[in-house]
């Protein structure tokens, strides 16, 4: 496989509200490469989340083509898309990321279990939490953690199986700036140490400041794709 | 291992809304409690009917001359009685074989006569628990023209021990049979005809009075294992001892009473269905509310790549755990209720506000207002299976909803 993880060409996504059709994406072209730390930005309604959902195989486009890990998204069944998400992608959502009745360790273990990992699950889960400095949260349930801690555990869960691509939808939206910064540093370290790729949909300037690449959407169209010197970013 | 986490999540989810879980568990427990207590009472009634039916009047098996049951003619008798009894009692399945004779007579203390019934018995055999004179070995007070008189009969005609009773009837030849008998005791029996008409004498005296040596009108058999009646009948039917005679198990003798017992089973089944339809509504409601509250969570899990059928399984396991907790509580309560009442029994007369319990006779059976509940392990098992099945069925609606969920729609909810 090449270092291109996602190849999107002329993607259109139309939603129907009653008899009215709304185009959320109007011919988007985008390539996500290994090692990208990409922020997709734009005003509300610009199509950020729609684009992220398509990259995450959570939605399929109305037109155009999407290749995820050299597989054509339109040709995948519902089950195949779920398998793709499970084995190739990691997700961090804006809020309510964790299963509330499971501890941090169990949340991480649960996804490993879904992926079919056997007896080593607990060890892997603990090692992941430990490597991210979250060992002391291992036995806490989400209700016993702050929002920032929950998001960091969600990142641990997303990266535990070392997926090639992690997608995060407004991951800092509910965090104060200190927690947001801790989270972003953690994700950037993971990118650097494990050769992972991160794509964010965000309004947060702090996330943008950490991004190595900023894609701006407006009215469903990519209006700019700016490559930045990632190592210096976020250190200001 | 997937089962472990599914069970863990399902179990902990029950604790998310404890009030709702408590209410659902209470509803299921109440259902199981109701079902088991009613079953226990019905079993108690069933046993009472069974013991009464197969007790002293009808027994487990009867042997008579053909057509005696229809005609009750005095000459339709079993002959060669002694030899036959010996062979019958030698059968390993037979507990008691009691010969009996019956003849309607006129009895008199003075000038006034009244209707009675000569009942010839082997007093020693009839003293066993299901005998005509259960628990009363009165063989020493019978024979040599000494008789016992039924309690109601004695009260009605002012008969007391020591009196002489003139008995007039018809012997097997159609001639007048008459003799004087001394009343030695007044007896009460579970069989109403003994109490109301009985002039109970030894079988030898009855044979002599009716000119029927070594004969009887019926032999009533109680078997050692009541559930083996048909096997014992089949075994005895092949023996020469019953040649030319009719041998019948109790179910063929009183089919109308059998259908009463069968009706108890049907009634219990109806209760089971009603109770569990109500429980199903409770579980469905709980699971639907619980599912709708967690749509976002399900969406998140679907987004992570969890297959919809795995989520459906989680909901089914949760519903079944809910049912299992409820059915366990209900079973424990029912066992407690039955243990508390199994010695004294439950008296319907007292529950209905009457001062004293009652006893009624119906077709020769004695039915009392006091019932001893009897809980069978199979009833508990049926309740558990029914609740688990109900729980699974109740989970189908939320499961169908979940397996159709699209991750992003669910996440947006």
Of B5, B16, B408, the CB nearest to A58: B408
Is A96 in the B-facing interface, judged by CB distances under 8 Å? yes
Check the CA dihedral A193-A51-B411-B407 and report its sign.
negative
Contact between residue A56 and residue A49 where contact means Cβ atoms under 8 Å apart = no
B296 CB neighbours in chain A (<8 A) are 96
Contact between residue B144 and residue B207 where contact means Cβ atoms under 8 Å apart = no
A87 CB neighbours in chain B (<8 A) are 305
By percentage, how much of chain A surpasses pLDDT 90? 56
Q: Verify whether the Cβ–Cβ distance A89 to B305 is below 8 Å.
A: yes
Q: Verify whether the Cβ–Cβ distance B16 to A100 is below 8 Å.
A: yes
Phi, psi for residue A149 in degrees, rounded to 5: -65, -40
Q: How far apart are CA A187 and CA A170, in angstroms?
A: 14
Q: Verify whether the Cβ–Cβ distance B304 to A114 is below 8 Å.
A: yes
Interhelix angle B308-341/B255-293, nearest 10 degrees? 130
Q: What is the pLDDT of residue A53?
A: 92
**Counting beta carbons within 10 angstroms of the beta carbon of residue A155, is it exposed (0 to 12), middle (13 to 18) or buried (19 or more)?**
buried
What is the least distance, in Å, from the CA of B255 to any CA of chain A? 59
Q: How far apart are CA B202 and CA B206, in angstroms?
A: 6
Of A87, A99, A111, the CB nearest to B297: A99
Contact between residue A113 and residue A102 where contact means Cβ atoms under 8 Å apart = no
Residue-wise DSSP of chain A: --SEEEEEEEEEEEEEETTEEEEEEEEEEEEEETT-EEEEE-STTSSHHHHHHHHTTSS--SEEEEEETTEEGGG--HHHHHHHHHHHEEEE-SS--S-TTS-HHHHHHHHHHHTT--TTHHHHHHHHHHHTT-GGGTT--GGGS-HHHHHHHHHHHHHTT--SEEEEESTTTTS-HHHHHHHHHHHHHHHHHH--EEEEE---HHHHHH-SEEEEEETTEEEEEEE--GGGTT--
Contact between residue B59 and residue B304 where contact means Cβ atoms under 8 Å apart = no
Please state which of the ranges A66-75, A172-181, A190-199, B178-187 shows the lowest mean pLDDT.
A172-181
Q: What is the pLDDT of residue B349?
A: 66
A90: CATH: 3.40.50.300
Contact between residue A186 and residue A207 where contact means Cβ atoms under 8 Å apart = no
Number of H helices, E strands in chain B: 15, 13
What is the least distance, in Å, from the CA of B327 to any CA of chain A? 24
Residues forming beta bridges with residue A15, ordered by sequence position = A22
Q: What is the mean pLDDT of residues A38-48?
A: 93
Picking from A46, A47, A10, the residue whose alpha carbon sits closest to that of residue A29 is A10
Query: String of b and e for B327-347 (b: at least 16 CB within 10 Å)?
Result: bbbbbebbeebbeebeeebbb
Question: What size, in residues, is chain A?
Answer: 236
SS3 label, residue B173: coil
Is B13 in the A-facing interface, judged by CB distances under 8 Å? yes
Contact between residue B327 and residue B26 where contact means Cβ atoms under 8 Å apart = no
Say how many domains are in chain A: 1
User: DSSP character for B190?
Assistant: S
Q: Verify whether the Cβ–Cβ distance B13 to A101 is below 8 Å.
A: yes
**Counting beta carbons within 10 angstroms of the beta carbon of residue A160, is it exposed (0 to 12), middle (13 to 18) or buried (19 or more)?**
buried
Structural domain of A63: 4-232
pLDDT, tens only, B121-180: 998 888 888 888 888 877 788 989 999 999 999 999 999 999 999 999 998 888 899 999
Is A198 in the B-facing interface, judged by CB distances under 8 Å? no
Low-confidence ranges of chain B (pLDDT < 70): 1-4, 349-367
Strand arrangement of the beta sheet that strand A165-169 belongs to: A89-92, A165-169, A197-201, A37-41, A213-218, A221-227
Is B412 in the A-facing interface, judged by CB distances under 8 Å? no
Of A53, A79, A96, the CB nearest to B297: A96
Contact between residue A170 and residue A201 where contact means Cβ atoms under 8 Å apart = yes
Contact between residue A30 and residue A222 where contact means Cβ atoms under 8 Å apart = yes
Q: What is the mean pLDDT of residues A60-85?
A: 92
Phi, psi for residue B201 in degrees, rounded to 5: -130, 170
Contact between residue B37 and residue B371 where contact means Cβ atoms under 8 Å apart = no
**Full-model pTM:** 0.74
User: DSSP character for B246?
Assistant: E
Phi, psi for residue B219 in degrees, rounded to 5: -120, 125
Q: Which of B304, B407, B410 to mutate to test the interface with A (most CBs of A within 10 A)?
A: B304
Q: What is the dihedral of CA B296, B301, B307, B308, to 10 degrees?
A: -20
Measured CA angle at B137 (ends B134, B143), to 5 deg: 120
Q: Verify whether the Cβ–Cβ distance B305 to A84 is below 8 Å.
A: yes
Q: How far apart are CA B295 and CA B291, in angstroms?
A: 6
**Residue ranges in B159-254 assigned as alpha helix (H):** 192-197, 203-209, 229-237, 250-253
What is the least distance, in Å, from the CA of A185 to any CA of chain B? 23
From residue B204, alpha-carbon distances to B119, B123, B195, B214 in Å are 11, 11, 21, 8
Q: What is the pLDDT of residue B1?
A: 46
Q: Verify whether the Cβ–Cβ distance A96 to B296 is below 8 Å.
A: yes
Of B9, B13, B300, the CB nearest to A93: B300
Q: How far apart are CA A75 and CA B304, in angstroms?
A: 20
Is A59 in the B-facing interface, judged by CB distances under 8 Å? yes
pLDDT, tens only, B322-369: 999 999 999 999 999 999 988 878 777 666 666 655 666 665 556 677
Q: What is the pLDDT of residue A171?
A: 87
Is A159 in the B-facing interface, judged by CB distances under 8 Å? no
Nearest C-alpha in A relative to B405: A78
Q: What is the pLDDT of residue A231?
A: 53
Q: Verify whether the Cβ–Cβ distance B310 to A114 is below 8 Å.
A: yes
Q: What is the pLDDT of residue B257?
A: 75
ipTM of the complex: 0.88
Contact between residue A56 and residue A64 where contact means Cβ atoms under 8 Å apart = no
Q: Verify whether the Cβ–Cβ distance A91 to B5 is below 8 Å.
A: no
Picking from A159, A136, B307, the residue whose alpha carbon sits closest to that of residue A171 is A159
Strand runs (DSSP E) across B173-312, as ranges?
A: 176-187, 198-202, 218-223, 246-249
Measured CA angle at A223 (ends A221, A228), to 5 deg: 130
Is A53 in the B-facing interface, judged by CB distances under 8 Å? yes
């Amino acid at each position: 496989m090449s270092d291109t993880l996602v190849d999107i060409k002329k993607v259109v996504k139309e939603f129907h509200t009653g008899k009215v059709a709304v185009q959320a994406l109007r011919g988007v072209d985008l390539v996500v490469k290994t090692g990208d730390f990409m922020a997709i930005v734009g005003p509300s309604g610009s199509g950020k989340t729609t684009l992220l959902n398509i990259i995450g195989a959570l939605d399929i486009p109305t037109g155009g083509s999407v290749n995820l890990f050299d597989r054509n998204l339109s040709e995948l069944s519902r089950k195949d898309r779920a398998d793709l998400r499970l084995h190739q992608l990691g997700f961090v959502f804006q809020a309510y990321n964790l299963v509330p009745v499971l501890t941090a360790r169990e949340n991480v273990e649960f996804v490993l279990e879904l992926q079919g990992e056997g007896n080593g699950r607990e060890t892997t889960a603990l090692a992941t939490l430990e490597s991210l400095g979250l060992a002391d949260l291992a036995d806490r349930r989400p209700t016993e953690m702050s929002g920032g801690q929950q998001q960091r555990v969600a990142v641990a869960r997303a990266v535990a199986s070392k997926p090639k691509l992690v997608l995060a939808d407004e991951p800092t939206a509910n965090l104060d700036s200190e927690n947001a910064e801790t989270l972003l540093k953690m994700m950037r370290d993971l990118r650097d140490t494990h050769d992972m790729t991160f794509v964010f949909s965000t309004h947060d300037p702090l996330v943008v400041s950490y991004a190595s690449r900023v894609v701006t959407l407006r009215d469903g169209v990519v209006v700019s794709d700016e490559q930045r010197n990632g190592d210096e970013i976020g250190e200001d | 291992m997937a089962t472990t986490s599914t069970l863990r999540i399902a179990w902990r989810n029950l604790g998310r809304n404890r009030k709702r879980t408590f209410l659902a568990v209470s509803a299921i427990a109440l259902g199981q409690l109701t079902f088991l207590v009613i079953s226990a009472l019905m079993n108690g009634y069933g046993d009472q009917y069974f013991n009464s039916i197969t007790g002293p009047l009808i027994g487990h098996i009867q042997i008579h001359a053909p057509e005696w049951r229809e005609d009750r003619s005095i000459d339709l008798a079993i002959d060669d009685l002694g030899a036959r009894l010996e062979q019958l009692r030698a059968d390993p399945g037979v507990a008691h074989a009691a010969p009996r004779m019956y003849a309607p007579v006129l009895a008199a203390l003075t000038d006034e006569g009244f209707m009675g019934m000569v009942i010839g018995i082997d007093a020693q055999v009839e003293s066993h628990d299901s005998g005509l004179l259960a628990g009363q070995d009165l063989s020493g007070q019978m024979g040599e023209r000494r008789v016992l008189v039924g309690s109601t009969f004695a009260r009605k005609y002012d008969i007391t021990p020591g009196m002489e009773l003139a008995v007039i009837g018809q012997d097997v030849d159609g001639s007048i049979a008459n003799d004087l008998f001394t009343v030695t005791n007044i007896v009460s029996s579970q069989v109403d005809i003994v109490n109301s008409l009985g002039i109970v004498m030894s079988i030898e005296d009855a044979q002599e009075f009716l000119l029927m040596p070594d004969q009887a009108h019926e032999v009533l058999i109680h078997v050692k294992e009541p559930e083996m009646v048909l096997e014992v009948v089949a075994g005895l039917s092949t023996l020469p001892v019953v040649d030319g005679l009719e041998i019948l198990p109790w179910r063929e003798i009183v089919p109308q009473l059998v259908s009463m017992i069968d009706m108890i089973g049907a009634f219990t089944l109806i209760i089971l269905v009603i109770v569990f339809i109500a429980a199903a509504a409770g579980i469905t409601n709980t699971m639907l509310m619980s599912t709708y509250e967690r749509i976002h969570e399900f969406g998140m899990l679907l987004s992570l790549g969890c297959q919809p059928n795995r989520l459906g399984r989680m909901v089914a396991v949760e519903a079944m755990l809910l049912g299992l907790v409820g059915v366990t509580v209900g079973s424990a309560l029912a066992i407690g209720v039955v243990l508390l009442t199994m010695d004294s029994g439950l008296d319907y007369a007292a529950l209905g506000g009457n001062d004293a319990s009652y006893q009624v006779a119906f077709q020769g059976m004695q039915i009392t207002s006091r019932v001893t509940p009897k809980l069978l392990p199979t009833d508990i098992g049926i309740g558990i299976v029914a609740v688990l099945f109900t729980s699974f069925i109740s989970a189908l609606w939320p499961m169908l909803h979940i397996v159709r969920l699209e991750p992003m729609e669910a996440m947006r909810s």
